[in-house]
Amino acid sequence: MLLALAVRLWWNLSVHPLLQFAYADMGGYLERARTSILFPDEPRPYFTLFPWGTHWLLSLVMRVFGRENGTALGAAYAVLGALAVGYTCALARRFTRSRGVALVVGAVLAVYYPWIALGGYALSEPPFALFLSATAFHGLAYADRGRRRDAWLFGVALALGAIFRPQILVALPLYGLHWLLRRRTWHRFRLRVIAPALVAPLALVTVVSAARVHFHTGAYGLIAANGPLNFAFGRCHATAITSVAPDRKGGYSPPSLSGLAGYAAAHPDALFTLDPAMGATINVTGHMWDAAPMYTLAAECVHRTGAVRQVKYAASHLALLWFYNVAWPDVGQVPFRSYMETAQTAHNRLVLPAALWAMVLAFRRQRARAMLLALHVFGLLAVAMLYFGDPRLRAPYDGLLITLAASTYASALTAIRKRVRLTRSR
C-alpha cells in the first residue's frame, strides 16, 4: 500500500494532475461537484444522468480543501488507489492462503499502469475499484468465518460501490445462487445476520437516490438514469446518440464503439465490426435521461436487426472489454496512449488466459471459493453483453482477474514442483 500510494502521489501531483485533464466526463464530474456546492438549492435534471457517487466524492474533497485544490483531489485519488491495492492484496492472501501470492498480487497492482493512469483523472474507476475489492474481500471473509462484522462490511462496501457503478449489484443474485448450490462453502451462514447487513445499506442508498432524483426532476428514480441510454447503444451499435429538447441539447459517444468502428475501418478482415442498426449517429427527441424515448429506440433497433445480429452485438461487447480499442481517456493522449497499449497487451497475454482458466475451474465443487471472486467478473460480462464493453469499464475488475490469474500460476508452480520431486525420487 505504501508503494502504491507513493507511485500514485507522484503520478497525480507531478506527472498527471487531475485538474489539467478536466474535459469530457472528467469535466462533467468536476462541474457537477462545483455546482452542487455553489447552488445546492437549484434542481438540475441532468445531474441524474450519471451515478452520483463520483461528483459527491469530489464535492466532499472540495468542501474541505477548496474547489480548485488540485493537490487535494490528486492526493484523495491516490489514497483511493492505494486502498484498492491493499484490499486486493488482502483478498489474494485470504483466497490463496499464501503470503507469497498476496505479495506478488500487491506488487503488481502497485505499479499496474491502468489503475495508476485512471487514478489521474476525475472518474469513477478508482473509488469503484476500492469498493469492488472490499466487497469481494468481505464476501469471501463472511463465507469463510460467518462473522457479523464481515457481513456488515460486505453490505456497506456493496452499497457504496453501487453509487459509483450500479452494475456491482448484478453480483448480488449470483451470491444467492452460489449459496444455494455450494452451501458448504458458506461456513456458519445465518440469514438473520446477512439479511440486515445487506438490506439496511442498500435501502439507505435507494432512499437517498430516490430523494435526490425527486429533488432534481420531480419524479422518483434510482442511482442513475443512463441505463436506458446505454441499453440503446448496445441494441443499436451507434457511435453517437444526440438528444434535442426545448430546454437542452445533449449527446454521448461511447469510446469503445467508436474504437471498434475505427479498428474495423483499418482492418477489413476483423472478426467484429460496428454494424449499426440505424446509422452511426442517431437523433432522439427528448432528454438524455428520459427512459421512454431510449427504450423506444432500442426496441426499434432490435426489430430491425433480428436475433442473430443482436447476439453478434453481445459477442462483440465481450471482445471490447479486452480488444479492438485502447482505454479512454489515454487513447487521446500522447505518450500515455502507448503506455496503455503496452499494459493492455501484457494483461491480455499474461493475465486473461490464466484468469479465464481459474473462472472455468470455479464451477467445480472443490473450487467453489474461487467462484466468490469470479462471480463479479461474470456479472461484468453479463452487463457488457446487455450494454457494451470497454477496457476502462473492465479496469476496476482487474484486481480480481490478477488474483485469479495468480492462483492459476501458483497452482501450476506447485504441480511442477511435485512432478520434479516425484521424478527425482524415482
Predicted confidence pLDDT, tens digits, the chain (426 residues): 999 999 999 999 999 999 999 999 999 999 999 999 999 999 999 999 999 999 999 999 999 999 999 999 999 999 999 999 999 999 999 999 999 999 999 999 999 999 999 999 999 999 999 999 999 999 999 999 999 999 999 999 999 999 999 999 999 999 999 999 999 999 989 999 999 999 999 999 999 999 999 999 999 999 999 999 999 999 999 999 999 888 888 889 999 999 999 998 999 889 999 999 999 999 999 999 999 999 999 999 999 999 999 999 999 999 999 999 999 999 988 889 999 999 999 999 999 999 999 999 999 999 999 999 999 999 999 999 999 999 999 999 999 999 999 999 999 999 999 999 998 988
Same domain, 179 and 124: yes
Which pLDDT value is given to residue 249?
Answer: 87
Q: Distance between CA atoms of 103 and 210, rounded to whole angstroms?
A: 42
What residue has cell string 450519471?
50
Same domain, 41 and 66: yes
Same domain, 189 and 216: yes
Tally the domains of the chain: 2
Same domain, 209 and 96: yes
Helix axes 53-65, 148-164, angle to 10 degrees: 90
Which pLDDT value is given to residue 247?
Answer: 81
Which residue range forms the structural domain that includes residue 154? Answer: 2-224+324-425
| Percent of the chain whose pLDDT exceeds 90 | 94
- Boundary residue ending a domain (270, 287, 320): 320
Same domain, 200 and 85: yes
Torsion of CA 26, 29, 34, 37, to 10 degrees: -160
Closest to 392 measured CA to CA, from 114, 120, 134, 22: 114
Q: Distance between CA atoms of 155 and 40, rounded to whole angstroms?
A: 29
Same domain, 46 and 128: yes
- Rg (the chain; Cα; Å): 22
- Boundary residue ending a domain (320, 338, 360): 320
Same domain, 219 and 195: yes
